Amino acid sequence: MAGPMAQYTNEMRNKFGYFAAWTPSHPFKLGDYGILKKSVFRRLANVVDLGISFETRVQNSKANLKYATEGAITETITLAGEAVPVGSVLGKADAGIIVKFGKKDSVLFEVNGYKTNFIANITRLGDDIRNKSGQGPWDRDWLVITELIIADSATILISSSNQGLIELKANAELKPAELNIASLNAQFQSVNSRDLSVQIVAQEGITPLFHLWGIGGFREEFQPTAAAMPGV
């Protein structure tokens, strides 16, 4: 059994072509360097701490990102005034979202809007690191974050059993098209949940996905595509 960490990082990499932060809400910055072990990046410091500077560029996207483990997740949107599923704690007057998981370690990942931060000149960064390594220790296994996805808001859920469940009540009035599980405007409140190893709901500003670079070049088996990453 892979476990939630391996399952999540592998599924994100297969879908989007990026490494995934673990835990999913762990904050990262451009220029952070560290060690990659079993697809999990462990930060040590930032190249700025070594006296290395870099320029950045930013690309904003209004697109959303969404992924759900295939065949494992059922997501139901309930609108105020409509009947709710049998057994739900949501009332008929409530708008909300119900997510059920049918497999252990299954993942639901959704981002509403994001910006992509890049180090503008990776060749120069590499030269600076090589020059720095002549003045002090730089382990060739260390990798640097050179591209970082910063979510406007994100929801990430991972089940710990095949009976995982969360029911979210929206505490604001939204049009049906605006009601999605990563919406900040919905002001979600979890009214019922069970068997979730990760429960991040509509959190602002997290950095869930990134690219890594090492002295030998990029460390990634997959490249993002326009279909996988709208706006990139």
CA distance 47 to 87: 53
Q: Is residue 132 domain-resident?
A: yes
The 10s digit of each residue's pLDDT in 47-105 is 999 999 999 999 999 889 999 999 999 999 999 888 888 889 999 899 999 999 999 99
Q: Is residue 12 domain-resident?
A: yes
The 10s digit of each residue's pLDDT in 155-185 is 999 999 999 999 999 998 888 888 999 999 9
Sign of the four-CA dihedral 208, 211, 213, 219: positive
Q: Is residue 230 domain-resident?
A: no
What six digits make up the tokens of 5? 């960490």
Structure-model confidence comparison of residues 5 and 228, the more confident one: 5
pLDDT of residue 38: 86
Residue 217 confidence class, pLDDT cut points 50, 70, 90: low
What six digits make up the tokens of 190? 């979890």
190 sits in the region (left: phi over 0; alpha: psi -120 to 50; else beta) called: beta
Q: What is the mean pLDDT of the chain?
A: 89
> pTM value?
0.89
Q: Is residue 224 domain-resident?
A: no
Nearest to 144 by CA among 124, 114, 160: 124
Q: Is residue 231 domain-resident?
A: no
- Rg (the chain; Cα; Å): 20
The 10s digit of each residue's pLDDT in 7-37 is 999 999 999 999 999 999 999 999 999 999 9
pLDDT of residue 125: 93
Number of domains the chain is built from: 1
What are the backbone dihedrals phi and psi of residue 48, each rounded to the nearest 5 degrees, phi first? Answer: -60, -30
* Residue whose tokens read 């049009």: 175
pLDDT of residue 216: 63
On the question of pLDDT at 222 being above 50, the answer is no
Structure-model confidence comparison of residues 12 and 38, the more confident one: 12
Nearest to 79 by CA among 155, 178, 165, 154: 178
Residue numbers of the domain that contains 79: 4-218
Q: What SS3 class is residue 187? A: coil
pLDDT of residue 228: 43
Q: Is residue 229 domain-resident?
A: no
| Half-sphere exposure (Cβ direction) of 189: Cα atoms closer than 13 Å | 9
Q: Is residue 232 domain-resident?
A: no
On the question of pLDDT at 186 being above 70, the answer is yes
Q: Is residue 228 domain-resident?
A: no
